[in-house]
């Protein structure tokens, strides 16, 4: 498939898309983003991604973005790329102006959409599960905004990879587990699934919300309640959710096996149920 970009409404090959050095997204990380996935000709959960994009824009007071146009351009870029499965990235910055913390004139937001093939890194690990490490929660207090300021996430993920793990999980000083560097976290204890509640502490993951709904549909007991470090380490099953990972079992935490180190039955049931929804295009 082609790698396609749409920059401020103009379609071009991804390799030719250029952003100004005065773009506030580049200078300050003054921007928000979305990552969506397309399966076999359809952008999965597009309405939900656009709604979260709208929330993020409102949260950082970027105005003047036509989200219907963004939707149209996402679909058009995906069609032009000509693939089946693809990753669709959207970034909206406050715009371009000489570097100054407060912009001196009204700005026109920069809207970038890119479409690339999906590298399903997690696919190989789906059967065996992945290992994770625990890292201190050092991020700001509005983790619900999908901001491109991802330095703590990047450093945490790099540390995980350097230690042979797939993901890093942020844990607060007082022992509460929030989420991973690019995924939400669930535990299963005595057949009950638990994930931390949405709020400023974590990103309201699209996959997270779909999995919460799927668990309820499947009749699996599901609670959105805080998860302590102790509960995480004592869990029968642990899994991650994200656009890229879908539902991904965790086999070890800081080198210690989760239960017997196998991906557990509830995780497998939710993996299958989520996949069935994807196959059916059931993202409402
Ligand atoms: N990351 N938490 C964080 C901090 C994330 O960055 C992500 C997604 C998630 C899962 O959200 P969703 O289910 O909507 O993908 C949770 C994206 C994929 C990324 O940054 O590439």
Give pLDDT tens digits for 162-184: 999 999 999 999 999 999 999 99
Between residues 283 and 119, which one has the greater pLDDT? 283
Beta carbons of 73 and 6 less than 8 angstroms apart: yes
Residue 203 CA: nearest ligand 1 atom is 2
pLDDT band (50, 70, 90) for residue 126: confident
Residue that has been written with the tokens 């899994």 in this structure: 239
Fold type of domain 123-280: D-amino Acid Aminotransferase; Chain A, domain 2 (3.20.10)
Beta carbons of 143 and 172 less than 8 angstroms apart: no
Percent of the chain's residues with pLDDT above 90: 94
The C-alpha atoms of residue 178 and residue 144 are separated, in whole angstroms, by 11
Residue 34 pairs with which residues in a beta bridge? Answer: 90
Contacts of 266 (CB under 8 A, 6+ apart): 188, 191, 193, 220, 236, 237
Res 122 pLDDT > 70: no
pLDDT band (50, 70, 90) for residue 123: low
Find the mean pLDDT for residues 13-19. Answer: 97
Task: Out of 40-54, 116-130, 232-246, 251-265, pick the least confident.
Answer: 116-130
Instruction: Give the pLDDT score at 120.
Output: 75
Tell me the pLDDT of the chain averaged across its residues. Answer: 96
135-163 burial, b if ≥16 CB within 10 A, otherwise e? Answer: bebebeeebbbbbbebebbeebbeebeee
Mutation test residue for ligand 1: of 243, 248, 278, the one with most atoms within 8 Å of CB? 243
Residue that has been written with the tokens 């869990």 in this structure: 235
Q: Whose CA is nearest to atom 16 of ligand 1?
A: 183
pLDDT band (50, 70, 90) for residue 273: very high
Residue 202 pairs with which residues in a beta bridge? Answer: 199
pLDDT digits (tens, 9 = 90+) for 52-106: 999 999 999 999 999 999 999 999 999 999 988 999 999 999 999 999 999 888 8
Contacts of 51 (CB under 8 A, 6+ apart): none
208 CA from centroid of ligand 1 (Å): 9
SS3 229: helix
The C-alpha atoms of residue 111 and residue 126 are separated, in whole angstroms, by 34
The C-alpha atoms of residue 199 and residue 184 are separated, in whole angstroms, by 13
Res 23 pLDDT > 80: yes
Ligand 1 pocket check for 90: Cβ under 6 Å:
no
Pick 4-119's CATH classification: 3.40.50.300, 1.10.10.10, 3.40.1440.10, 3.30.470.10: 3.30.470.10
Find the mean pLDDT for residues 208-224. Answer: 98
Q: How many CB atoms lie within 10 A of CB 6?
A: 24
How do strand 31-39 and strand 42-43 relate by DSSP bridges? antiparallel
Contacts of 207 (CB under 8 A, 6+ apart): 184, 241, 242, 243, 245, 246, 247, 274
Chain-centre distance for alpha carbon 157: 13
Instruction: Give the pLDDT score at 119.
Output: 77
- Reading the block at residue 185, the tokens are 């976290």
> Quick one: CA dihedral 10, 14, 17, 22, positive or negative?
positive
45 CA from centroid of ligand 1 (Å): 14
Residue 242 CA: nearest ligand 1 atom is 13
Contacts of 215 (CB under 8 A, 6+ apart): 193, 222, 270
Cite the active site residues.
146
Instruction: Give the pLDDT score at 100.
Output: 96
Residue 33 CA: nearest ligand 1 atom is 20
SS3 151: helix
Domain boundaries defined on the chain: 4-119, 123-280
């Amino acid at each position: 498939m082609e790698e396609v970009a749409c920059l401020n409404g103009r379609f071009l090959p991804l390799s030719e898309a250029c952003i100004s050095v005065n773009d506030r997204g580049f200078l300050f990380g003054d921007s928000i983003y979305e990552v969506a996935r397309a399966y076999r000709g359809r952008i999965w959960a597009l309405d939900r991604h656009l709604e979260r994009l709208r929330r993020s824009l409102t949260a950082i007071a970027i105005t003047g973005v036509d989200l219907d146009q963004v939707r149209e351009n996402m679909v058009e870029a995906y069609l032009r790329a000509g693939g089946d499965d693809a990753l669709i990235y959207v970034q909206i910055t406050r715009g371009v102006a000489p570097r100054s913390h407060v912009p001196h004139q009204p700005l026109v937001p920069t809207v970038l959409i890119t479409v690339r093939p999906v590298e399903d890194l997690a696919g190989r690990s789906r059967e065996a599960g992945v290992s994770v490490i625990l890292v201190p929660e050092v991020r700001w207090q509005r983790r619900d905004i999908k901001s491109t300021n991802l330095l703590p996430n990047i450093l945490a993920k790099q540390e995980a990879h350097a230690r042979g793990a797939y993901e890093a999980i942020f844990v607060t000083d007082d022992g509460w587990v929030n989420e991973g560097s690019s995924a939400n976290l669930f535990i299963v204890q005595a057949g009950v699934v638990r994930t931390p509640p949405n709020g400023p502490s974590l990103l309201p993951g699209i996959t997270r919300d779909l999995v919460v709904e799927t668990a309820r549909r499947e009749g699996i007991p599901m609670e959105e309640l805080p998860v302590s470090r102790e509960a995480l380490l004592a869990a029968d099953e642990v899994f991650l959710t994200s656009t890229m990972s879908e539902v991904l079992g965790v086999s070890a935490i800081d080198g210690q096996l989760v239960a017997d180190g196998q991906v557990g039955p509830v995780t497998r049931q939710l993996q299958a149920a989520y996949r069935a929804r994807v196959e059916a295009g059931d993202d409402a």
